[in-house]
Amino acid sequence: MLIKRLSYLVLFIIVSLGQSCNYSTQNALPKGFVYLDDIAPPIKTEVRYYGNDNFVGTRISAYNSDIIICTEDAAKALRKVQEELLMSNLELLVYDAYRPQRAVNHFIKWAQNLNDTLCKAKYYPDVAKKDLFRLGYIAEHSSHSRGSTFDLTIIDSSGKPLDMGSDFDFFGPISWISSELISNKQRENRMLLNHLMIKYGFKPYAEEWWHFTLKTEPFPDTYFDFNVE
C-alpha cells in the first residue's frame, strides 16, 4: 500500500512539473524581449488594441492581454524618458509597443472591407477608407512587429493626457508632428514628447506625433508574430 501511494505521489509530481514546463514554454518571450512592467514599472499603459476603442472598433487579433511587450533595449531607453518626466510631475502613457504580424494582418483585412466604417467619425473622418493604404496609414508590415516601437503620450499628475491636438491613431494631417493645424500649447506638448524621446535614443515618425522607434533597435529586419499575453 505504501509503495502504491508513493507511486501515485511520484506520478503527481511528474505531471505537475510537466504542466509547469508547458506553461512556461507557452508564455516565454523570445530572447531580447521583456514585459515593460518588469523593466520600468511606473509607466502607465492603455492598450487600445486589446479593447474596442481603436480605429477598427474591436479587439485586434493576437492581443490576448492588456500588457505591453517590447525589446529590453527599448524598455531601458523608455525608462530614462519616464525618469526625466517624473521630475516635472509628468509621466508617460503607452498605447502600444510590440504588435504581432497577425494584428497587422487584421488591419489589412479590415481596410479591404470598405463597408466597415464603424469608427470613421472618430479616427479618420476626412480620409476615404479606400485611400488608407495609398496614404500609408495601413501597411503590410509595421515597425511595431520588430519590438522596439512605441505609441505613447504624456499625462499629468492626475492621469490626464496632455493636449496634443489630435487623439492617438487619428488619421489626418493634424496628427503630423509639424502640423500647422494645432495651437501653440498643443505644439509645445508635442515638442516636449518629441525632444525627450529623441534625447534618449528614439526616432520620431513625421506623420504620427505618438510614434517612436529606437534608433539602435536590435531586430531591424525581423517581424515577429507571437501573441501579446
Contacts of 113-120 with C-beta under 8 Å, sequence gap 24+, read 118/56, 118/57, 119/54, 119/55, 119/56, 119/57
Shortest CA distance to 217 belongs to which of 144, 153, 140?
144
Tell me the C-alpha to C-alpha distance, in Å, between residue 69 and each of 33, 38, 104, 131.
7, 10, 16, 30
Per the DSSP assignment, residues forming a β-bridge with 203 are 213
Judge whether 138 and 106 are in contact, CB under 8 Å. Answer: no
* Cell numbers describing residue 129: 477608407
Instruction: Establish whether 84 is a catalytic residue.
Output: no
Task: Determine phi and psi for 18, rounding to 5 degrees.
Answer: -65, -40
∠176-178-182 over CA atoms, to 5°?
Answer: 80
Q: Which of 46, 72, 91, 208 is catalytic?
A: 208
Catalytic residues: 208
